[in-house]
């Protein structure tokens, strides 16, 4: 039963895995932990495999350089035996050096990558830590506290089970010079009692939510929220239209104004979700945790940094971390707002200043509760440089489990690592 629950606690946004491809391009550094000291040389081995066997007489193009930055070395070579080892050079400062290899087989292009970390524990953030950061968010929380919850719960009989009631929840939330609504799916055990609670915060995008019913059947109140101020139980076509239309690029909305930036309502909405959980008679308010991946990994750290009622967190590859890295010659976090062509309109003083109030780095500084974290070196959506910039600042008890070859996805063992620990905290 415990093994079952480990999988059920996994946020839905983390279930997607990369599609299998007929030809696999496998790239790996020459150390099993993929980790080096600055100045150490690294060699990358490139293997091209089909049906588990080397592909003979292929030609591979490889590029080596700091992650998300222009390549410093590019070469195209034959690999008669299906395997090739190349000199990757080194890095003189803490960071990540990546080898990306592509090969064409029968007219189709296949791609793989491997990434070496150099003193990742020494990576420091580039984003500003505003002097009035705490005052800014204290003011926001004080404004939120003046807004009544006005919780409206609608039972969803078609989703209820013998052991669990499922509700569509509609709460009043903060908005600039107004109020908005926060929506989510609440799953509550039917049996009387006080239960631990887990807030599940979402990855990026616009979608409906089904709620974590199975975990509630095991004695956990779960609250799975959306962030966009729209109901989360509509037809998927509605969300597709919103994502392609009015909510397209929401990560950039009002970036030049710290008081109106899109994520202010989102971050305060996470506090509002904790308000709601703590208000429920079925919840033991002393045992509330938060978890999520990518944007949800960011929101997990942010919620724990903002709200002392959160007692533990589990974060998968957190986004929104050290986003100004690109302005300092290295990778920055998703949504890559200062990267490449984007920075021609985002690289403005007001936008850079606003970023400091919302970057995970500055919430990580303020996390005081235990946390478990996981990611891989090959993540191109949330670069490891950006994630370490936040993680290295966390002074609370923490543990990072690396699955080096993963990108923006998870192995089952990764979810077992996070969720096994979450279960221990929830069941204390």
Q: Is 294 a catalytic residue?
A: yes
pLDDT one digit per residue (tens) for the chain, 428 residues:
344 444 445 554 455 678 889 999 999 999 999 999 999 999 999 999 999 999 998 999 999 999 999 999 999 999 999 999 999 999 999 999 999 999 999 999 999 999 999 999 999 999 999 999 999 999 999 999 999 999 999 999 999 999 999 999 999 999 999 999 999 999 999 999 999 999 999 999 999 999 999 999 999 999 999 999 999 999 999 999 999 999 999 999 999 999 999 999 999 999 999 999 999 999 999 999 999 999 999 999 999 999 999 999 999 999 999 999 999 999 999 999 999 866 777 788 999 999 999 999 999 999 999 999 999 999 999 999 999 999 999 999 999 999 999 999 999 999 999 999 999 999 88
Q: Which of 322, 379, 390, 404 is catalytic?
A: 379
CA–CA separation, 227 and 265 (whole Å): 8
Nearest to 396 by CA among 361, 365, 420, 359: 365
Q: Is 408 a catalytic residue?
A: yes
Q: Which of 294, 321, 386, 390 is catalytic?
A: 294
Length, in residues, of the chain: 428
Q: Is 215 a catalytic residue?
A: no
CA–CA separation, 202 and 31 (whole Å): 35
Nearest to 306 by CA among 252, 254, 360: 360
Q: Are 88 and 64 in contact (CB under 8 A)?
A: yes
Long-range contacts (CB closer than 8 Å, 24 or more residues apart) made by 347-350 = 348/256, 350/255, 350/256, 350/257
Domains with residue ranges and CATH for the chain:
23-122 (2.60.40.1930), 124-426 (3.40.50.1820)
Q: Which of 168, 336, 404, 408 is catalytic?
A: 408
For the chain, first and last CA: distance in Å? Answer: 17
CA–CA separation, 350 and 16 (whole Å): 36
- Cα angle for residues 77, 80, 85 (degrees, 5° grid): 55
Q: Are 404 and 376 in contact (CB under 8 A)?
A: yes
For the four alpha carbons of 198, 232, 271 and 147, in that order, the dihedral sign comes to negative
Which residues contact residue 385 at a Cβ distance below 8 angstroms, ignoring those fewer than 6 apart? 67, 95, 96, 120, 123, 322, 325, 330, 331
């Amino acid at each position: 039963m415990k093994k079952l629950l480990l999988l059920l606690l996994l946020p839905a946004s983390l279930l997607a895995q990369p599609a299998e491809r007929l030809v696999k391009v496998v790239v790996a550094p020459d150390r099993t932990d993929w980790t080096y000291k600055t100045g150490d040389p690294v060699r990358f081995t490139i293997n091209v495999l089909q049906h588990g066997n080397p592909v003979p007489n292929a030609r591979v193009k490889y590029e080596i350089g700091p992650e998300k930055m222009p390549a410093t070395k590019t070469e195209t070579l034959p690999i008669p035996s299906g395997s090739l080892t190349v000199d990757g050079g080194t890095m003189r400062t803490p960071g990540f050096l990546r080898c990306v290899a592509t090969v064409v087989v029968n007219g189709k292009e296949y791609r793989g990558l491997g990434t070496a970390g150099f003193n990742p524990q020494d990576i420091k953030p580039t984003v500003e830590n505003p002097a009035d950061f705490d005052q800014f968010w204290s003011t926001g929380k004080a404004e939120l506290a003046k807004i009544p919850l006005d919780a409206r719960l609608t039972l969803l009989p078609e989703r209820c089970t013998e052991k669990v009631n499922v509700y569509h929840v509609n709460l009043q939330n903060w908005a600039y010079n107004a109020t908005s609504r926060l929506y989510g799916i609440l799953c509550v055990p039917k049996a009387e009692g006080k239960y631990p609670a887990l807030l599940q915060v979402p990855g990026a995008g616009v979608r409906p939510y089904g709620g974590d019913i199975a975990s509630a059947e095991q004695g956990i109140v779960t609250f799975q929220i959306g962030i966009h101020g729209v109901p989360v139980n509509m037809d998927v076509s509605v969300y597709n239209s919103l994502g392609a239309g009015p909510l397209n690029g929401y990560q950039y909305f009002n970036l030049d104004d710290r008081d109106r930036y899109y994520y202010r309502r989102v971050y305060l909405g996470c506090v509002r979700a904790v308000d709601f959980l703590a208000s429920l008679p079925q919840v033991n308010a002393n045992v509330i945790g938060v978890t999520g991946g990518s944007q949800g990994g960011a929101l997990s750290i942010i919620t724990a940094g903002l709200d002392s009622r959160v007692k533990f967190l589990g974060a998968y590859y957190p986004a929104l971390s050290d986003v100004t890295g690109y302005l300092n010659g290295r990778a920055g976090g998703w949504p890559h707002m200062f990267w490449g062509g984007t920075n021609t309109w985002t690289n403005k003083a007001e936008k850079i200043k606003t970023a400091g109030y919302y970057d995970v780095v500055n919430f990580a500084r303020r996390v005081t509760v235990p946390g478990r974290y996981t990611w891989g070196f090959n993540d191109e959506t949330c670069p490891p440089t950006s994630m370490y910039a936040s993680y290295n600042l966390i002074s609370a008890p923490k543990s990072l489990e690396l699955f080096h070859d993963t990108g923006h996805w998870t192995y089952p063992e990764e979810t077992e690592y996070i969720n096994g620990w979450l279960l221990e905290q929830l069941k204390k």
